[in-house]
Amino acid sequence: MIKKSSPALDATREPESDVDAAIVAQGALTEAASAPRIPAEAGGIQINFCKTPTCVNFGVAEDADVAKFSKSPASRYRLAGAGKHYPHLVCKACSISFPVKSNLGILEELGRMQAEHVRERAAPSCPITSCANHGLGVSLGKAYYSAFGTSAIGSPRWKCKACGKTFSTPKSTTHRQRDSHKNKLIFKLLVNKVPLRRICEVAEIGPNALYGKIDFLHNQCLKFLADREAKLPTLAVRRLYLGVDRQDYVVNWARRDDRRNTVISAVSSVDNETAYCFGLHLNFDPSLVLDEIEQDALAAGDFQVPPPYRKHAREWLSHDYINSVRKPTKSSPAASLKDKVARTYAKALDRDDIEAGDGPVDTEKLPDQGMQIHSEYTLYGHFLYLKGLTASVEKLWFFLDQDSGVRAACLAAFASDIKVKRRVDAFYVSIAKEMTVDQKRRLKNEAKEALAEFMEANSALTQSEAVLAMIKQRLAAMTSIGKWNDRWLMHPFPDMSEPEKAIAYLTDLGDYDLDHQAWLYNKASLRGVDNLFMQIRRRLTLLERGIHSQGNAGRVWNGYAPYNPKQIGKILGIFRAFHNYIHVGADKSTPAMRLGLARGPIQYEDIIYFQPK
């Protein structure tokens, strides 16, 4: 395996492993002669098209017979930087460039997200994988299975009519589980910020038993979520206002001779009205093994071609990770919110791949278990996953944190809904969060006074009409910022959670009047997803913020962070079920109740003992 601590590979230094030597022998990354100009469609997915909504090529992929030839007069796009690490396509209509991505890698990420629900919803079937009835549930009846009595503990037994295999289906989810009466207590402690060691003390169980309980609760939560959310694609929902953002989590170092942490991130979409969380997807695949993937990548010739054309395009390979490591930098605070917005654009343009994150720093490393995924592939998978869940929603508004990767993935996944159906709109939202409580109160009071003065001068207007009128005034004074000339509005009415807010309408096709635009700008907010992330920090000990120490060079202490990255996905899955279905708000309702997926609050026992029908 490639050593994670080795310097960047080049042809002049001594190779450190068999894979390392093979990469050097293959030479520098070059465009393979057989590589297509644009990666082929995979599973109906093709995202390599212009992502500028006002361009005629927005959402229009290159024709398959043209995609192979760069100089075809019928070509919509020109390939640039093909011999470099990050090839780009340049739209011939608007001249905007965008990085090439592997459709296969995106399909794999989408499949990973969907597979959890498909697998967990599967009904009991013949356990013989080679049998024709494997995967066909016993609920299909006598054509496939015959009842075969009960087991010694009363579980129903079945006989497969295809292969003759007999098997039993447990009567209870806690079948063969010790101390099952402690499941509810452990569930409650996990989502109420009790450290794992204290849970062991309170529940009087050992660490191994606790991890077994976490596995069980995670599986039950996935089954429950899958069963309820299977109704989403056909659920009658008029409107959703989805805030989208990312949050980073730290995995602790496990060896004293290598004290680098691993940082993985989750992308989430939360409805501002109901607070329902539609997904918490990590850029981490627990099912993959780094050694195996790197050997397969070598055999496939992945190191001879740029990343988008590889078999393993979505996975972080050691060679690429090492070459991407940078020194951590500290930047001075932004002078204003507009300055923050401008800096974010500039920072994105400085990257070789504008849709990728900032890349790892030298205090971070790849996970010891599972594999880290390039964040932009997780983003594409997340939005395509949302597209399936929200198929029946009449109108969708996305309020995106200012992130070029989030923007590209959203516009690509919903291109036809934006351009043709006009079912989807997207906004950038940037918030000045680094403020004291006194600063927030001052801004809120100033806005309140400005509104009072405006209403005094326009006494015929109601408060809501006055708010929209003031926003319309600011629409005329918007300024363009960044490469794409996005026009930003400074929202005139802050609150304590969003004390200063700037908004850019990304999908403005000129078909909404000023009143409708003002109403949309007033709705733009990240409060749903921000509140979810705040609850994760406050309720989950494993994922709380690190503590900055005075000594030790100011290093952040993550004493409660997990040592196994797989635990992050499990605890987030448990929390999503709790947040959506168990935890009630001030209105005595859960997010699922507000959305229409539940009639009342779900009890812990309903999830612990849940079995799919």
Work out the average pLDDT over 53-60: 96
Task: Count the neighbouring beta carbons within 10 Å of the beta carbon of residue 93.
Answer: 14
pLDDT at 435: 82
pLDDT confidence bin for 531, thresholds 50/70/90: very high
Tens digits of per-residue pLDDT, 236-268? 999 999 999 999 999 988 888 888 889 999 999
pLDDT at 63: 82
Percent pLDDT > 70 in the chain is 88
Work out the average pLDDT over 521-541: 96
Exposure string of 396-421, with b = 16+ CB inside 10 Å and e = fewer, is bbbbbbbbbbbbbbbbbbbbebbbee
Work out the average pLDDT over 487-514: 92
Tens digits of per-residue pLDDT, 443-495? 888 888 888 888 888 888 888 888 899 999 999 889 899 888 899 999 988 88
Of residues 407 and 152, the one with the higher pLDDT is 407
State how far the Cα of 215 lies from the Cα of 197, in Å rounded to an integer.
17
Tens digits of per-residue pLDDT, 549-584? 555 554 566 778 899 999 999 999 999 999 999 999
State how far the Cα of 214 lies from the Cα of 499, in Å rounded to an integer.
38
402 and 495 housed in the same domain: yes
The pTM of the full predicted model, rounded to 2 decimals, is 0.87
Is residue 123's pLDDT more than 80?
no
Is residue 21's pLDDT more than 60?
no
Helices (H), 463-565: 463-475, 514-523, 527-539
Q: Is residue 404 part of a domain?
A: yes
Is residue 366's pLDDT more than 50?
yes
pLDDT at 426: 98
Domain boundary among 145, 168, 191: 168
Q: Which amino acid is at 50?
A: C
Is residue 186's pLDDT more than 50?
yes
Residue 92 and residue 78 in contact, taking contact as beta carbons nearer than 8 Å:
yes
Query: Tell me, what DSSP letter sits at residue 433?
Result: -
- Residue 525 belongs to what domain range? 238-246+374-551
Is residue 326's pLDDT more than 90?
no
Q: Is residue 342 part of a domain?
A: no
Q: Is residue 608 part of a domain?
A: no
Domain boundary among 526, 551, 576: 551
pLDDT at 375: 96
Tens digits of per-residue pLDDT, 45-54? 999 999 999 9
> How many folded domains does the chain comprise?
2
- What tokens appear for 431 in the block? 């918030």
Q: Is residue 450 part of a domain?
A: yes
pLDDT at 75: 87
Is residue 11's pLDDT more than 50?
no
pLDDT at 550: 52
State how far the Cα of 235 lies from the Cα of 391, in Å rounded to an integer.
9
- What tokens appear for 456 in the block? 């005094």
Of residues 228 and 74, the one with the higher pLDDT is 228
Work out the average pLDDT over 121-131: 81
pLDDT confidence bin for 85, thresholds 50/70/90: low
Residue 612 and residue 295 in contact, taking contact as beta carbons nearer than 8 Å:
no
pLDDT at 139: 80
158 and 242 housed in the same domain: no
Q: Is residue 262 part of a domain?
A: no
How far does the chain reach from its first CA to its final CA, in angstroms? 45
State how far the Cα of 323 lies from the Cα of 581, in Å rounded to an integer.
44
Tens digits of per-residue pLDDT, 146-164? 998 888 767 788 899 999 9
Exposure string of 228-255, with b = 16+ CB inside 10 Å and e = fewer, is bbeebeeeebeebbbbbbbbebbbbbee
State how far the Cα of 225 lies from the Cα of 582, in Å rounded to an integer.
12
pLDDT at 27: 45
pLDDT at 6: 33
Mean pLDDT of the residues in the chain: 87
pLDDT at 92: 94
Q: Is residue 273 part of a domain?
A: no
Work out the average pLDDT over 227-231: 93
479 and 387 housed in the same domain: yes
Work out the average pLDDT over 497-505: 92
Q: What is the rounded (10 degree) CA torsion for 242, 248, 249, 251?
A: 140
Residue 576 and residue 191 in contact, taking contact as beta carbons nearer than 8 Å:
no
Q: How far is CA 611 from the centre of its chain?
A: 27
pLDDT at 482: 86
Work out the average pLDDT over 224-238: 93
Of residues 610 and 545, the one with the higher pLDDT is 610
Task: Count the neighbouring beta carbons within 10 Å of the beta carbon of residue 261.
Answer: 16
> Is beta strand 371-372 parallel, antiparallel or unpaired with respect to 284-285?
antiparallel
Query: Tell me, what DSSP letter sits at residue 139?
Result: G
Work out the average pLDDT over 97-122: 86
Work out the average pLDDT over 95-122: 86
Residue 574 and residue 187 in contact, taking contact as beta carbons nearer than 8 Å:
yes
Of residues 85 and 228, the one with the higher pLDDT is 228
Work out the average pLDDT over 264-277: 97
Is residue 43's pLDDT more than 90?
yes
- What tokens appear for 319 in the block? 């060679």
pLDDT at 122: 57
Domain boundary among 168, 192, 220: 168
pLDDT at 65: 67
pLDDT at 7: 33
pLDDT at 438: 86
Q: Is residue 27 part of a domain?
A: no
Q: Is residue 472 part of a domain?
A: yes
State how far the Cα of 579 lies from the Cα of 37, in Å rounded to an integer.
45
Q: Report CA-CA distances (Å) from 281 to 113, 220, 245, 547, 558.
A: 8, 18, 11, 25, 22
Lowest mean pLDDT among 58-67, 293-302, 385-394, 514-523: 58-67
Backbone angles phi, psi at 180, to 5 degrees: -65, -20
